[in-house]
Amino acid sequence: MTARIAYCTDMEKSVLSNNFEKRGWIQVGPDDEWNFYWAGAQTCRSLFSVDSGYRMNDNQMINHFPTHYELTRKDLLVKNIKRYRRELEREGSPLAARDATGRYIHLDFLPTTFMLPADYNLFVEEFRRNPNTTWILKPAGRSQGVGIFLVNKLAQIKKWSRDTKSSFNPALVKDTYVISRYIENPLLIGGKKFDLRMYVLVTSYRPLKAYMYKQGFCRFCTVRYDTSGQELDNMFVHLTNVSIQKHGEEYNSVHGGKWPVRTLRLYLEGTRGKARTDKLFADVTWLVVHSLRAVAPIMASDRHCFECYGYDIIIDDQLKPWMIEVNASPSMTSTTANDRIMKYKLVDDIISIVLPPDGVPNVHWNKIPANDKSGDFELLLDEELYQNSDHSATHRGKNSDRHSAPRWK
């Protein structure tokens, strides 16, 4: 008989509990002996903190890396990618090549971003060089559109910085903000702005092992995009977040608020051609791979951990994808029947990949799942297989050919 798996979760979401129960797992509390914990990022950080005194055993697995914020905090993400580019440049890597204007040719997937208040002077310099641009300010550690606003005049930032300094609310003053160049020319469909949500599963950072989910989706704004800059204050025009737009059939009749990524692909192949569409999706893969490589050396790559990230990507009207942010706990709430089916399958596929063949969490497993275990996930990269590509037959028998040529090479 196979061992009974005990699971624990802080989130009462049916797409999670239905999956656990389908597998015959039993639910236990956080103080009991669990094997598999689907936790909030905060819970995971405190479990790993020195103060908690908690030590995981070899048969325990949890859905976050303790230092995930290196990728998922808006300010740290930018810092890490900037550092990664500088390091590649120092090594003389062709990846870090720049054009005549100083832009990175291959690693320019992040809108120009500065920290506030730390980089205020650098921002002012940049703004003076390009005075007719729009910028978006976001609190570094928040989500769901909270505290975000757009500006296109220096005076607005000066006023904002005066107001927050003199604010009676100390929580506001403490917040670090990022200020990013606003992508003013998003690709519009039916006159509406949208973003692309892609799910990326990392099972190890060193060696790096990552997968991308085939079923991403587009999230549309509810109101038409305004290019005149008149509606800078109307967040329904500019922010595509679920929480802001209240996506759901009852609110949003156009496209039901969401499109599966395959619908986007067909639409783009029809309107822009197959070659440009393929290039766009290859560029999306590229930016995901390099964002992970940027943080891999500094992540705490604990063997008990795996993590499924929600990447937010904006595509501009030139079909260039821009990385907006990475979420550590993408929402498992479902808004429609299709959404529920997709997220249920997402969780099912995650569990299949992260568990060893006998289904019992085990930190000594090499995290190389059999091909038929990855469901709708596609392998993005596996440094262990790649380094050992001559020997990979010993890892996967006849299935190893799938990994011989990583897609991002």
Ligand X SMILES: Nc1ncnc2c1ncn2[C@@H]1O[C@H](COP(=O)(O)OP(=O)(O)O)[C@@H](O)[C@H]1O
Q: In b/e form, how buried is each residue of 283-301, taking b as 16+ CB within 10 angstroms?
A: bbbbbbbbbbbbbbeebeb
Nearer to ligand X, 152 or 352 (CB): 152
The answer to the question of residue 271 lying near ligand X (CB under 6 A) is no
Residue 382 in the binding site for Mg ion (CB under 5 A)? no
Cβ proximity to Mg ion: between 136 and 299 the closer is: 136
The token pair that represents 394 in the structure block: 């010993």
Nearer to ligand X by C-beta: 194 or 344?
Answer: 194
Stretch 284-343 residues interacting with ligand X (CB under 6 A)? 312, 314, 324-325
312: contact with Mg ion by CB under 5 A: yes
Among residues 182, 199, 225, 311, the one that binds ligand X under rule CB under 6 A: 182
Please choose which of ligand X, Mg ion, none residue 379 contacts, taking the beta carbon within 5 to 8 angstroms, the exact cut-off set by kind: none
Q: Using CA atoms, how far apart are residues 35 and 10, in angstroms rounded to an integer? A: 14
Q: Which stretch binds Mg ion (CB under 5 A): 61-69, 114-122, 165-173, 304-312?
A: 304-312
Cα gap 230→289, rounded to integer Å? 37
Q: Which CB sits closer to Mg ion, 144 or 167?
A: 144
Per-residue x/- marks for ligand X, 187-226, CB under 6 A? --------x-------------------------------
| Residue 314 interacts with, from Mg ion, ligand X, none (CB under 5-8 Å by kind) | ligand X
Rounded Cα distance between 385 and 388, Å, is: 5
For 198, counting Cβ atoms within 10 Å of its Cβ (0-12 exposed, 13-18 middle, 19+ buried), the class is buried
Q: Which does 347 bind (CB under 5 to 8 A by kind): Mg ion, ligand X, none?
A: none
Binding positions for ligand X, 235-254, rule CB under 6 A: 239-241
Residue span binding ligand X (CB under 6 A) among the ranges 23-31, 38-46, 136-144, 379-387: 136-144
* Residue 98-117 contact track with ligand X, rule CB under 6 A, x = bound: -------------x------
Mark 58-97 with x for binding to ligand X (rule: CB under 6 A) and - for no binding.
----------------------------------------
Cβ atoms 216, 198 nearer than 8 A: yes
Judged by CB, which is closer to ligand X: 257, or 369? 257
* DSSP sequence for 329-371: S-----SSHHHHHHHHHHHHHHHHHHS-TTSS--TTS-----G
The verdict on 283 binding Mg ion (CB under 5 A) reads no
Give the binding range for Mg ion (CB under 5 A) out of 26-34, 114-122, 305-313, 345-353: 305-313
Cα dihedral across residues 233, 336, 215, 42: positive or negative? positive
* CA 76 to centroid of chain Cα atoms: 13
CB of 383 to ligand X, least distance (A): 29
Q: At what angle do helices 337-354 and 14-22 cross, to 10 degrees?
A: 50
| Contact by Cβ (8 Å): 8, 63 | no
Q: Which residue is nearest to Mg ion (CB)?
A: 312
For residue 207, cis peptide bond before it (omega within 30 degrees of 0): yes
Cα 135 to the center of its chain, rounded Å = 21
- CB nearer to ligand X: pick between 195 and 349: 195
Does residue 301 contact residue 206 with C-beta atoms inside 8 Å? yes
User: Binder to ligand X among 40, 117, 141, 145 (CB under 6 A)?
Assistant: 145
Please give the full DSSP string across 3-33, using - where no structure is assigned. PPPEEEES---HHHHHHHHHTT-EE--TTS-
Q: Cα(108)–Cα(96) distance, rounded to whole angstroms?
A: 10
Residue among 72, 70, 89 at smallest CA distance from 80: 70
Stretch that binds Mg ion, among 38-46, 213-221, 275-283, 320-328 (CB under 5 A): 320-328
- Rank residues 57 and 243 by Cβ distance to Mg ion and give the closer one: 243
Radius of gyration of the chain (CA): 22
Size of the site for Mg ion (CB under 5 A): 2
The smaller minimum CB distance to Mg ion, of residues 277 and 291, is found at 291
Q: And the tokens for 203?
A: 């099972």
**Interface with ligand X by CB under 6 A: which residues?**
111, 136, 138, 143-145, 148, 180, 182-183, 195, 239-241, 312, 314, 324-325
